[in-house]
A = this chain, B = another copy of it.
Amino acid sequence: MSEPAVIGYYTTKFGELWNQSLSDLIKESVEGALESSKININQVEAIFFANMLGGILDNDLHLSAKIAESLGVNVPIFRVESACASGGMAFHLGLNYLKSGSAKTILVIGGEKMTDYDVEDVTTALASAASEEEQIAGLTFPGLYGLLAQSYLQKFGYTEEHLAHISVKNHYHGSFNNKGQFRNQITLEQAMQSQYVARPLKVLDCSPISDGSASIVLTSDPNLISNSAQKIQILASEVATDVISLKNRDSLVEIKSTKIAAKKAFDSAKIDRSDIDVIELHDCFSIAEILALEDMGFWEKGKGGEMAARQKTRFDDNDGLVVNTSGGLKASGHPVGATGIKQIGEIFLQLNNLADLRQVKNAKFGLTHNVGGSGGSAVVNIFSIYETKSN
Residues of A within 8 A of B (CB): 52-53, 55-56, 59-62, 64-69, 73-83, 89, 92-93, 96-102, 124-125, 127-132, 135, 238-245, 248, 256-257, 260, 372-373, 376-377
Contact = CB atoms under 8 A, between A and B. Distances in A.
Nearest to A56: B55
15 contacts: A53-B55, A59-B124, A59-B128, A62-B128, A62-B130, A64-B82, A65-B83, A65-B243, A65-B244, A66-B244, A74-B256, A77-B377, A78-B93, A79-B81, A81-B81
Nearest to A66: B244
Given A59-B135, A62-B83, A65-B372, 18 more contacts: A55-B81, A60-B132, A61-B129, A62-B81, A64-B377, A65-B83, A66-B131, A67-B241, A68-B377, A69-B243, A69-B244, A73-B241, A78-B239, A93-B97, A96-B96, A96-B97, A98-B100, A99-B101
Contacts of A74: 240-242, 256-257, 260
Number of this chain's copies in the complex: 2
A96 B100 contact: yes
Contacts of A244: 62, 65-66, 68-69
A96 B89 contact: no
A66 B100 contact: no
Given A69-B131, A78-B89, A244-B68, A376 B59 contact: no
A115 to B, nearest CB: 18
Contacts of A125: 59
A145 to B, nearest CB: 15
Contacts of A73: 241
A240 B97 CA distance: 15
A31 B328 CA distance: 41
A214 to B, nearest CB: 20
Nearest to A103: B96
A1 B215 CA distance: 34
Q: Which of A101, A248, A376 has the most CB of B within 10 A?
A: A376
A84 to B, nearest CB: 9
Given A74-B260, A96-B97, A102-B96, A128 B55 contact: yes
Contact of A100 (B68, B75, B99): B99
A79 B61 CA distance: 13
Contacts of A69: 131, 242-245, 248, 376
Q: Which of A62, A69, A128, A239 has the most CB of B within 10 A?
A: A62
A372 B62 contact: yes
Contacts of A89: 64, 78
Nearest to A75: B241
Contacts of A241: 64-65, 67-68, 73-77
